[in-house]
Amino acid sequence: MVDNNYFSSNYTEARKRFRAATEHAGGCIHTYAAGCKGPDGDPVTTDVAVIGNPDAPNILLCNSATHGVEGFCGSGIFTGILQNGETDNLPPNVKLVLIHALNCYGFAWLRRVTEENVDLNRNFVDHKKSHPKNTEYPKLHPILLPDLWNEKTIAKCRRRLEAYASKTSLYKLQSALTGGQYDYPDGIFYGGREPTKAHRRFLQIVDDHVGSPQHILFLDWHTGLGEYGNGQLLGMTRPGSPHGDRVYKWFGHGLETPAEGQAVSAPLTGTIGSGLRRRYANTDTEITSLTVEFGTYPVREVLMPLIADNWLHVNGKPNSALGREIKAQIKKALYPDEEDWKELVWVRGRQIIRRGITGLGNL
Ligand SMILES: [Zn+2]
């Protein structure tokens, strides 16, 4: 049975537990203020735990809450790892850097996006170049943002999206909506036109605590895609390249490559992993980068609360009764409040971290 104390019910509790667990594990904690407040009026922060040999050549860098509200999962796993002794005997050549609540605004407000309404995992494109074009999204945008959010407009939205899916496919619908778009700041999965504050904070944390090691294993923890409670590793994971061979050797199963169109995720632009690779381009640092994605509910059930939450912050009132209802929906879609889900996530999450440490330790 999973110790329920690892998994929290709100951002404030999660932050407190993570910080206490870091102290318990003998790690150092570093705090980065986001410059904005949570719903309780308190400033929100990103907290970073650093554990192990400070001069270790290999770094396991784990990040949570790139997508705000998805951070409950990573938070619970990181807290558990620190709390139950998993980090007590790190190999001397491995340092662990755990980023708690990178998009702390989104975590606290139960949103997937940042305070700029940006999908942080689409924001790491090179903004000096022209932004990627999503030619399908404009066809769907008006459907997603009605003036009012009620039974009638919700039904209409569902109907139109289903019509699009039956004309193309559910995967095409998912790609059009979730692949990322750079032209509608009030839309969903908007990648932004410049680096967000959380984007800059991530690069700062990397400069401060990762530096110039020989190898970085980067794991970015998400929820919402895939089978209930199942943890997939997404990235360039086919054998045949140095990266693919490595992840195959270290993790062995549960690997998917979205670019090949078979994974739970559509191909994406501007991911945080691509930002990390750009940061270390033309250096000697070798990078292994994977997204950890835990399934919750079917795609349709996850998409509607995201659309509703976007409507709420553009056209609605988050503090209204409808606002609270939508918040409960988005939280449940990305963080099922069920003990057995947390148990599945904990066991698989711990396995992934253990394997990552072993892989880096054997380098
Ligand atoms: Zn995500």
**Residue 53 in domain:** yes
Ligand 1 mean position to 362 CA, how many Å? 30
For residue 264, the model assigns a pLDDT of 66
Question: Residue 346: inside a domain, yes or no?
Answer: yes
CA atoms within 13 A on the CB side of 302: 23
Q: What is the pLDDT of residue 255?
A: 81
Report how far ligand 1's centroid is from the alpha carbon of 94 (Å): 27
Q: Distance, CA 119 to ligand 1 centroid (Å)?
A: 9
Average pLDDT over residues 345-350: 97
| 256 alpha carbon – ligand 1 mean position (Å) | 15
Distance (angstroms) between ligand 1 centre and the Cα of 66 equals 7
How far, in Å, from the CA of 196 to the mean position of ligand 1? Answer: 16
The residues near 145 (Cβ < 8 Å, ≥ 6 apart) are 186, 187, 310, 311, 314, 315
pLDDT (tens digit per residue) in 142-155: 999 999 999 999 99
- Kind and range of the H or E element at 278? helix 272-279
Q: Does residue 268 surpass a pLDDT of 90?
A: no
Q: Which of 162, 167, 175, 153 is nearest to 300 (CA)?
A: 162
Q: Is residue 161 part of a domain?
A: no
Bridge pairing between strands 255-256 and 231-234: parallel
Distance of CA 291 from the midpoint of ligand 1 (Å): 9
Highest mean pLDDT among 45-49, 174-178, 262-266: 45-49
- 327 Cα: distance to centroid of ligand 1 (angstroms): 17
Q: How far is the CA of 137 from the centre of ligand 1 (A)?
A: 19
Q: For residue 4, is pLDDT > 70?
A: no
Q: 122: how many CB neighbours lie within 10 A of its CB? A: 25
Residue type for position 313? H
**Among the ranges given (68-82, 224-238, 344-358), the one the predictor scored with the smallest mean pLDDT:** 224-238
Question: pLDDT value at position 263?
Answer: 64
Q: Is residue 321 part of a domain?
A: no
* Inside any domain, residue 175: no
Ligand 1 geometric centre to CA of 179 (Å): 12
Q: How far is the CA of 70 from the centre of ligand 1 (A)?
A: 6
Residue with tokens 């490559």, as numbered in its chain: 257
Q: Is residue 242 part of a domain?
A: yes
Q: Residue 51 forms beta bridges with which residues?
A: 96
pLDDT of residue 300: 87
Which pLDDT score, from 0 to 100, does residue 361 have? 98
Computed on alpha carbons and rounded to an integer, the radius of gyration of the chain in Å comes to 19
Question: Looking at the domain assignment, is residue 228 inside a domain?
Answer: yes
* CB neighbourhood size of 238 (10 A): 16
> What is the whole-number distance in angstroms between the Cα of residue 92 and the centre of ligand 1?
32
Averaged pLDDT, 88-94? 97
pLDDT tens for each residue of 100-124: 999 999 999 999 999 999 999 999 9
* CB of 258 closer than 8 Å to CB of 248: no
Q: How large is the angle between the packed helices 137-144 and 299-315, nearest 10 degrees? A: 70
111 alpha carbon to ligand 1 midpoint, in Å? 11
Give how many domains the chain has, as a whole number.
Answer: 1
Distance 55 CA to ligand 1 centre (A): 31
**Confidence at residue 22, expressed as pLDDT on a 0 to 100 scale:** 98
CATH number (domain holding residue 65): 3.40.630.10
Better-predicted residue by pLDDT, 122 or 268: 122
Sheet holding 286-295, edge to edge: 28-37, 43-52, 94-100, 58-64, 215-228, 286-295, 231-234, 255-256
Render pLDDT for 272-318 as a digit per residue (tens, 0 to 9): 999 999 999 999 999 999 999 999 999 889 999 999 999 999 999 99
Ligand 1 center to 274 CA (angstroms): 15
Which domain, by its residues, includes 29?
4-129+192-300+331-361
Instruction: Quote the ligand 1 centre to 220 CA distance (angstroms).
Output: 9
More confident residue, 254 or 74: 74
What is the Å distance from ligand 1's center to 124 Cα?
A: 14
Statement: residue 239 has pLDDT above 90: no
d(C-alpha 283, C-alpha 181), whole Å: 30
d(CA 288, ligand 1 centre) in Å? 19
Ion ligand 1, residues whose Cβ is below 5 A away: 67, 70, 222
Establish if 135 belongs to a structural domain. Answer: no
**222 CA to centre of ligand 1 in angstroms:** 4
Q: Identify the band that residue 171 occupies on the pLDDT scale cut at 50, 70 and 90.
A: confident
Q: What pTM does this model have? A: 0.96
